[in-house]
Each structure stands twice: as structure tokens, then as C-alpha cells.
């Protein structure tokens, strides 16, 4: 294999891995919230961009170290989601067919946040770039990759692993999965379903925020990322099976690689067409998703 | 609950006077405002949104489907009309052709509603809307991509000259009035009652012998006609179209007009459109505030008044003859959202 081909291959691999890990994080966040409280959060893309913009303000505006900023942003998601949960989300916990109400509600939130970004950040800049976590470049064979992107990839994979361990082994994670599977049975086993609802909303959003701030650290971004991310996360959730974190991670990775490959050989629009087409097919023929239990 | 008891629907003049009043007002308002071209234009856009909201109302209010691809359908018609007129077609021939294209597209894209219900259909329609928007951007040879098409010529009048200003607003007003009249006829017809039955419970409607497939597709065909006529009139009226003119936000805005006014009533969405459609034009420089305002209203409608303004008014009317067999579910306001 010639050097040029090897470089293309490695660059596709690295982009695919980073994008895939970030897609997986956001889709996992969306699917945790949908699986527990039945809320299809269309505002996930706006939350994703919100995290990225907070990260930008903290590093570029206030001069904080990107490490501190990333931690602060993820920490900040907890009180913000909790306030949102108390104000809006909690009211619908007992409503049957609440997913459509939640969907509309999250579209409303999307529109508010998009409007706010347009009149605040949108006036300052088109393109936002954060300082890197670590400097330097590593050579993998002939292919140079920024250490910063490797670090982002490592952190994203570490967060995904932590999420899996939490869901599989920790008491709260097991209670959360019990609620995914059967609310009534979980209640009978002494699980406080409402507390789990709050917890999963906060956990899901924290994961989305982590995805947003990591994306901002690896790539420069603009405000249109929000809608693309929202639709992509939905596509991943539907194809992977709503409520299945494993499905979200696997399909998220597949989407990351698809995006990386298609962006090299065709246009990103073709990638978007292919996701949406796949999602429509799954919706029509197997709405429970590929990884449904 | 297959059909509303016939006694509940007003008949005769009681039905016709609001429509007559609307028609007169719709023609009079732009005429009175024609001294100020901008305000007359805002009135024209509002009437256009009334037409769109009425079509969305047929689908969302009366059939119980929430198609977020509505603006995309309007866009299909608009691009058809602009391209056909640019190759020399008369606008008056392009309008029905574009409308028909939107309707056929709407009927085909409505097919998923046969399998998917509630949230899943809405999500599907959102995906379809996104695909349509991406398509508008991608097929730049027809649509000129993100730049959009500007300086769209006004339609010519058969007698000679161009349809401009007040004449155009009166055409839109007449179309809006016809749209409302058609919806009134549909709602009072057996077809309308079958749609209401499907809205309440399509499984039950099927067991009652209603051909749900056919009715839903017919509803999509007719609802898309509204989108198509509106889109065809929109393009030359505003003189500029781009994929952003018909994106998901516009679909949400039209939906909000229906939900805010009161789904499933004739006049609720008309009032919703009258109140909401002028806002972005009147805000002018601060028009991005519109997104925030509409977003807040979406949340307010979902939480505080799922029945919209119309149900707020209706609550004051004493419920005299409510049939005994209306299921409690129907009165549950949360369901409406």
C-alpha cells in the first residue's frame, strides 16, 4: 500500500473513531432519556451546541484552561437539567402518550435556544474554535495526528466505558435499566421510579453536554451543527432501538465511520441522505430498532 | 364516537355568516391598508398563513396526524411554479400544476401514516421535511441552492399587465376564503366525520367499516392542496424563495398557529394565524426574537392550553347537550397535544 493511500486510510479511521465516539455519546444520552421517561429530546442538538458554546466562552472569553472548562461545562449540565426537569419535564410523567407532548415541547426548546444563539453568539462569529487540550502531533506511520484529537478520543471512549459500567454494575444504573424494561415491576421491586426519571434526564443531558464540549475541543464548529446533530442522534436512536444504549453506541460508531468515509469520497449531504433514508426504512419496517430486546 | 351528532353542528345562516364576515374582512383589510404598502403586504402574508393553517388543521385538527413536512410540500409547489413560469408558462397554468405536484408528493409522503402513529409519524414527517430541505439545497440546478431564487416575476393578468399590490392580496384573500369554505364542507360531510372517527381511534374506525387507508390518503391529498396553493402564491408574492423559506421551522410555525388557535375548530387556526403570522414582519429588525417567542408559545400551548384559544373560549359556553356516550378520554385536554 502506498503512503498516500495509507494516510487516507488512517485519517478516515481516526475521524471515524472520533466522530463515532461523539455520536455514540450524544445518542446514548438521547436514548437514556427516551428509554426511561419516554421523552424524544429533539433539543439534543441545541444542548450539544450549548455545551460547545459554554466551552468557547470559558476558554476564549474567560481564559480558563480547556480541561477546567470541559469539567465545568459537564458539571453545569446537572443544575441546568434539574431546573428544566422541575419546570417542564416533571409535569408530564403521568400523562399517557406523553412522547408526542415531549417531542413538541423539545421542539419548542429547540426554537428558543436557536433564537437565543442567533441573537447572541451568532452576532459575534460564524465559526468557533477552542484551544486544544494538549499540544503536539503524533506520527502513526506516515500519518500525523494532533495529540489533542487523540486525547478527545480517549476521553470520549472513557466516558462511554464509565457509562456502561454505571448502567451494568451500579445500583442506580441497574434501577435505571429496570425502569427501561418494566416500570410497574421496577416499582414493585422498590425502585423509586420518579427519582430514576430525574436521574436519567440529568445523566442523559450530562452525556450530551460531554459530547458537545468534546466535539468543540476536537473540531471547529458553527451553529448549524445543532440541527444536523439532533437529526443524526434521532436516526441513531431509532436504528439502534429506542432505549438501547448498546444500540446507540454501535450505530453511533457506524455512523461516525460512514460520515468519515462519505465525506472523503462524496459530499456530507450524501451522508445525511443515507442516514435519513436508513432511519425511514427502520421506522417503517422495524420501529423497535436493530438492537431491541 | 364515530361522528359528531348532527344536532351539534350549526346549520344554515349560522354557519355562513362568519364565513361571509371573514371574506369581507379579508378583502377589506388589505384594501384599507393599501395606503401603506408594507402593512398591506403583512395582511397578505397573514392571509396566506390562514390558508396554510386551514390545510394543516384538516390534517392535525380533524385527522389527528401531525405532519411536520407541510412547509416542504409548499416548497415543492413553489419551486414548480417558479421553474415553470421561468420557461414561459403562464402563472395561472403553473399554479394548478405545482399544487397538484405538492398534493401527489404529500399523498406519497403521507403513506407512512398508515403504519406509524403519534410520535413515530411526527418523527417520520420531520425526517421527510429534513430530506426535502436537503433536496432543495442539493439540487441547485433547479432551486439555486442555499442562495435561493430572487426577483420572481409577478403573475400576468390575462387582460394584460401584472398582478401587483392590492390585486394580489385580493386573490390570496379569495383563496383563503375558499379554503375555509372547503374545510367547512368537508367537516360537515360524511368524509369529515370519518376523519374525526380516525382521529379518535383508527383501530375502532377500521372495525366500523371505514377504509382508513383511503381516508387518510384523501386527507393528505386535500391537505397538501392547501400547502400547494399557498406555496404557489407565496413565491411570486414575496419575490424570493430559498430552502429556508420552507424548512422545518416554518412547518412548526404553521403547526403552532393551528395548535395555538385551537385544533379541530374551523376558526381557531384562523385566529391563530391572524395573531401569530404578522409578528415576524412587524418585529422587522428584531425578527429573530420571533423564534424565541414562537418557542415559548409552543411550550405554553403544550403545557397550559392543549385545546388552544378556541377551547378557552368554548369553556365559557355551558355544555348543554353533550351526548352521554362521549368517552371521557376525548375530554382529557392533555391528549390534544
Summarize pLDDT for B146-186 with one digit per residue, the tens: 889 988 888 888 776 777 788 899 999 999 999 999 999 99
| For range B316-320, the mean pLDDT | 42
Domain assignment present for B10: yes
Identify whether B62 is part of a domain: yes
pLDDT at position B1 over 80: no
Mean pLDDT of A70-81: 96
Q: Evaluate whether A217 touches A66 at the Cβ level (below 8 Å).
A: yes
A183, exposed or middle or buried, with CB in 10 Å at 0-12, 13-18, 19+?
middle
Q: What angle do CA A115, B223, B252 make, to 5 degrees?
A: 10
Report the residue from A88, A103, A276 with minimal CB separation from B299: A88
Domain locations along chain A: 3-285
How large is the ipTM? 0.88
**Domains in chain B: how many in total?**
1
- Which chain B residues are Cβ-neighbours of A229 within 8 angstroms? none
Domain membership of residue B278 (yes or no) is no
Among B134, B292, B298, whose Cβ lies nearest the Cβ of A273? B134
Q: What is the pLDDT of residues A1-59, one digit of tens each?
A: 678 888 888 888 899 999 999 999 999 999 999 988 889 999 999 999 999 999 999 99
Identify whether the C-beta of residue A238 lies closer than 8 Å to the C-beta of residue A283.
yes
The angle at the Cα of A127, spanning A125 to A131, to the nearest 5 degrees, equals 105
Query: How much of chain A exceeds pLDDT 90, in percent?
Result: 54
Percent of chain A topping pLDDT 70: 99
Q: Is residue B336 in some structural domain?
A: no
pLDDT in tens, A236-282: 999 998 888 999 999 999 999 988 888 888 777 788 888 888 888 88
> Considering all CA atoms of chain B, what is the largest pairwise distance in Å, rounded to the nearest integer?
61
Query: Is A218 in contact with A18 (CB distance < 8 Å)?
Result: yes
Taking the Cβ of residue B294 and every Cβ of chain A, the question of whether any pair is shorter than 8 Å is answered with yes
Using the 8-state DSSP alphabet, how is residue A165 labeled?
Answer: H
For residue A273, list chain B residues with Cβ-Cβ distance below 8 A. 131, 134, 138
Q: Is the pLDDT of residue B325 over 50?
A: no
The verdict on a CB contact (< 8 Å) between A114 and B124 is no
Is position B313 within any domain? no
Judged against a pLDDT cut of 70, whether residue A158 lies above it is answered with yes
B58-108 pLDDT, tens digit per residue, is: 999 999 999 999 999 999 999 999 999 999 889 999 999 999 999 999 999
Q: Is B36 exposed, middle or buried (0-12, 13-18, 19+ CB in 10 A)?
A: exposed
The arithmetic mean of pLDDT across residues B312-327, rounded, is: 46
**Tens of pLDDT, residues B35-56:** 888 999 999 999 999 999 999 9
pLDDT at B5: 46
Any CB–CB contact under 8 A between A91 and chain B? yes
Fold exhibited by the domain A3-285: ABC transporter involved in vitamin B12 uptake, BtuC (1.10.3470)
For residue B289, name the pLDDT band (cuts at 50, 70, 90): confident
Q: What whole-number distance in Å separates Cα of residue B29 and Cα of residue A100?
A: 38
Q: Which residue has the cell 416575476?
A: B153
Shortest distance, CA B299 to any CA of chain A (angstroms) = 5
Which residues does chain A have within 8 Å of residue B297's beta carbon, measured at their own beta carbons? 108
Q: Chain B contacts of A227, Cβ < 8 Å?
A: 130, 248
What is the percentage of chain B residues whose pLDDT exceeds 70? 88
Give the distance from CA A191 to its chain's centroid: 27
Q: Does B334 touch chain A (CB under 8 A)?
A: yes
A125-139, A229-243, B299-313: range with lowest mean pLDDT: B299-313
Residue B230 falls inside a structural domain: yes
- Is A78's pLDDT higher than 80? yes
Reported in sequence order, the residue ranges of chain A that DSSP labels E, i.e. its strands, are 137-140, 143-146
The answer to whether residue A193 neighbours chain B at the CB level (below 8 Å) is no
Q: Which of A115, A273, A289 to mutate to test the interface with B (most CBs of B within 10 A)?
A: A115
How many Å lie between the alpha carbon of A154 and the closest alpha carbon of chain B? 32
Q: Under an 8 A CB cutoff, do B299 and A119 touch?
A: no
Residue showing cell 421506522: A283
Cell matching residue B251: 412547518
Smallest CA–CA distance, residue B108 to chain A, in Å, is 14
Element (H, E) at B241: strand B240-241
What residues of chain A lie within 8 A of the CB of B258, using their CB?
none
Amino acid at each position: 500500500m502506498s503512503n498516500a493511500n495509507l494516510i487516507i486510510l488512517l485519517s478516515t479511521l481516526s475521524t471515524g473513531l472520533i466522530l463515532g465516539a461523539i455520536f455514540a455519546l450524544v445518542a446514548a444520552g438521547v436514548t437514556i432519556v427516551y428509554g426511561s421517561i419516554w421523552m424524544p429530546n429533539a433539543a439534543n442538538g441545541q444542548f450539544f451546541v450549548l455545551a460547545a458554546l459554554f466551552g468557547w466562552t470559558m476558554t476564549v472569553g474567560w481564559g480558563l484552561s480547556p480541561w477546567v472548562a470541559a469539567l465545568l461545562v459537564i458539571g453545569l449540565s446537572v443544575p441546568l437539567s434539574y431546573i428544566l426537569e422541575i419546570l417542564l419535564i416533571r409535569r408530564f410523567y403521568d400523562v399517557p402518550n406523553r412522547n408526542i407532548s415531549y417531542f413538541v415541547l423539545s421542539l419548542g426548546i429547540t426554537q428558543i435556544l436557536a433564537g437565543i444563539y442567533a441573537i447572541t453568539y451568532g452576532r459575534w462569529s460564524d465559526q468557533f474554535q477552542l484551544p486544544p487540550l494538549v499540544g503536539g502531533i503524533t506520527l502513526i506511520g506516515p500519518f500525523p495526528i494532533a495529540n489533542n484529537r487523540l486525547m478527545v478520543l480517549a476521553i470520549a471512549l472513557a466516558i462511554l466505558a464509565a457509562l456502561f459500567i454505571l448502567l451494568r454494575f451500579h445500583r442506580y444504573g441497574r434501577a435505571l435499566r429496570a425502569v427501561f424494561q418494566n416500570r410497574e415491576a421496577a416499582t414493585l421491586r422498590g425502585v423509586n421510579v420518579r427519582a430514576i426519571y430525574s436521574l436519567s434526564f440529568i445523566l442523559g443531558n450530562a452525556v450530551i453536554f460531554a459530547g458537545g464540549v468534546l466535539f468543540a475541543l476536537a473540531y471547529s464548529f458553527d451553529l448549524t451543527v445543532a440541527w444536523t446533530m439532533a437529526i443524526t442522534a434521532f436516526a441513531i436512536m431509532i436504528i439502534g432501538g429506542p432505549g438501547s444504549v448498546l444500540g446507540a453506541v454501535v450505530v453511533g460508531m457506524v455512523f461516525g465511520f460512514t460520515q468519515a468515509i462519505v465525506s472523503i469520497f462524496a459530499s456530507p449531504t450524501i451522508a445525511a441522505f443515507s442516514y435519513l433514508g436508513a432511519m425511514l426504512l427502520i421506522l417503517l419496517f422495524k420501529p423497535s430498532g436493530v438492537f431491541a430486546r | 364516537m364515530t361522528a359528531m351528532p348532527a344536532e351539534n353542528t350549526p346549520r344554515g345562516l349560522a354557519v355562513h355568516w362568519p364565513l361571509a364576515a371573514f371574506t369581507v374582512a379579508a378583502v377589506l383589510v388589505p384594501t384599507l391598508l393599501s395606503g401603506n404598502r408594507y402593512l398591506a403586504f403583512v395582511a397578505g402574508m397573514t392571509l396566506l398563513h390562514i390558508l396554510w393553517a386551514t390545510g394543516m388543521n384538516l390534517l392535525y385538527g380533524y385527522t389527528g396526524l401531525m405532519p411536520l413536512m407541510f412547509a416542504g410540500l409548499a416548497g415543492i409547489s413553489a419551486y414548480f411554479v417558479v421553474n415553470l413560469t421561468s420557461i414561459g408558462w403562464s402563472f395561472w397554468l403553473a399554479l394548478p400544476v405545482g399544487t397538484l405536484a405538492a398534493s401527489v408528493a404529500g399523498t406519497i409522503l403521507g403513506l407512512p401514516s398508515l403504519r406509524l402513529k403519534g410520535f413515530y409519524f411526527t418523527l417520520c414527517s420531520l425526517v421527510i421535511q429534513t430530506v426535502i430541505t436537503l433536496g432543495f439545497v442539493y439540487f441547485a440546478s433547479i432551486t439555486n441552492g442555499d442562495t435561493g431564487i430572487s426577483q420572481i416575476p409577478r403573475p400576468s393578468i390575462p387582460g394584460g399587465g401584472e398582478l401587483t399590490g392590492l390585486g394580489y392580496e385580493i386573490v390570496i384573500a379569495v383563496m383563503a376564503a375558499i379554503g375555509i369554505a372547503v374545510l367547512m364542507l368537508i367537516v360537515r360531510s360524511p368524509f369529515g366525520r370519518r376523519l374525526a372517527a380516525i382521529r379518535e381511534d383508527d383501530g375502532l374506525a377500521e372495525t366500523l367499516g371505514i377504509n382508513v387507508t383511503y381516508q387518510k390518503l384523501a386527507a393528505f391529498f386535500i391537505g397538501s392542496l392547501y400547502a400547494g396553493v399557498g406555496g404557489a402564491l407565496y413565491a411570486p408574492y414575496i419575490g424570493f424563495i430559498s430552502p429556508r423559506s420552507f424548512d422545518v421551522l416554518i412547518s412548526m410555525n404553521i403547526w403552532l398557529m393551528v395548535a395555538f388557535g385551537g385544533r379541530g375548530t374551523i376558526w381557531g387556526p384562523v385566529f391563530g394565524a391572524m395573531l401569530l403570522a404578522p409578528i415576524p414582519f412587524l418585529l422587522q429588525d428584531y425578527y429573530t426574537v420571533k423564534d424565541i417567542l414562537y418557542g415559548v408559545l409552543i411550550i405554553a400551548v403544550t403545557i397550559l392550553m392543549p385545546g388552544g384559544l378556541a377551547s378557552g373560549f368554548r369553556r365559557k359556553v355551558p355544555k348543554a347537550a353533550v351526548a352521554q356516550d362521549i368517552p371521557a378520554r376525548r375530554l382529557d385536554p392533555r391528549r390534544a397535544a
